[in-house]
Amino acid sequence: MTDDAVTGSQDDAEIEIRFNSDGLVPAIAQDADSGEVLMLAYVSPTALKRTRETGQAHYYSRSREELWKKGETSGHTQHIREIRADCDADTILYLVEQTGGACHTGHQSCFYRTLDGTEVTERVFDPETVYE
Amino acid sequence: MTDDAVTGSQDDAEIEIRFNSDGLVPAIAQDADSGEVLMLAYVSPTALKRTRETGQAHYYSRSREELWKKGETSGHTQHIREIRADCDADTILYLVEQTGGACHTGHQSCFYRTLDGTEVTERVFDPETVYE
């Protein structure tokens, strides 16, 4: 094995994600085409594993304390195009193709308001027809 | 005061950010023009207040345990164009104009690698000349 081969192998080494003391890391979902930031949720090792195996975004619901496949109830799934880690490997970025809207309020993105409460985007679906 | 006026005032009410048990919320910084997700860091009430007062992104450094003005050392500041909150007000989105690169590694974004370690963007500055 040459030095180059060793270096190359190190450069492309799988990144070890640094889960926090709760066993989670924040994951940002971004629309892979429009670049819109859709949501932030948390990911457990199992959620990340399931995401990579299925190509569909999974998270860990802190309120329900369970693995959560995005869109399980609403049908508004997120197909994974790429997963990135940040420089210190304690945050994940999901680049996704979003079906429907990401937010339970009916908006494409959960970030639909400025801090003063002004809504800066329109709804893309009616939550009352999606969540019965 | 009419009913409409009351409704209008409620719709545009300042959002009360729900800081976590450590007194922080995650803040995503996104390039306001390119849409690139630059970094995720944490914000305290003071950091958020300072950001709004100055129009320059401030965070709270969990490792140094102190208020941190982005770019204080590197000069790579983030001018705030807009601040959004997510639907349950426990995550913030900074839309910024980034000077230089956001990442201490020299990349524009901290999310410069896929999970298998492949670098998907080039460096935009040499960290050795910026951090002496």
Q: Going residue by residue through chain A, which has 132 residues, state the pLDDT in tens, using 9 for 90 and above.
A: 344 434 444 456 899 999 999 999 999 999 999 999 999 999 999 999 999 999 999 999 999 999 999 999 899 999 999 999 999 999 999 999 999 999 999 999 999 999 999 999 989 999 988 876
Beta strands in chain A (DSSP E): 25-31, 37-43, 58-61, 66-69, 78-85, 92-98, 113-114
Residue B117, both tokens: 């370690």
Q: Among positive and negative, which fits the CA dihedral B101, B102, B106, B108?
A: negative
Mean of pLDDT values over B26-49: 98
Q: Is the pLDDT of residue B52 over 60?
A: yes
pLDDT of amino acid A11? 57
Which residues does A91 contact at the CB level (< 8 Å), separation at least 6? A25, A26, A27, A28, A85, B40, B110, B111
For residue A107, the 8-state DSSP code is: B
What local confidence, expressed as pLDDT, does residue A3 receive?
41
Q: Which pLDDT does position B132 carry in this prediction?
A: 64
Is B85 within 8 Å of A40 when comparing Cβ atoms? no
Residue B18 has pLDDT above 50, yes or no: yes
Worst-scoring range by mean pLDDT, A64-68, B5-9, B29-33, B106-110? Answer: B5-9
β-partners of residue A68 are: A59
Q: How confident is the model at residue B5 (pLDDT cuts 50, 70, 90)?
A: very low
Q: Is A110 annotated as a binding residue?
A: yes
Closest Cβ–Cβ partner in B17, B84, B110 for A111:
B84
For A26, the closest of B40, B105, B119 (CB atoms) is B40
Mean pLDDT of B50-58: 98
Alpha carbon separation from B27 to A65, B76, B85, B86, B105 (Å, rounded): 23, 17, 9, 10, 20
Contact (CB<8Å) B110/A116? no
- Please write the tens of the pLDDT for every residue from B112-131: 999 999 999 989 999 988 87
Sorted by where each begins, the domain ranges of chain A are 16-102
What pLDDT, on the 0 to 100 scale, is given for residue B11? 57
CATH assignment of B16-102, given 3.10.20.810, 1.10.3720.10, 3.40.50.10710, 3.40.50.300?
A: 3.10.20.810
Subunit contact A93:B37, Cβ cutoff 8 A: yes
Arithmetic mean of pLDDT, B20-49: 98
Q: Is A63 on the interface with B (CB under 8 A)?
A: no
Alpha-carbon Rg for chain A in angstroms: 17
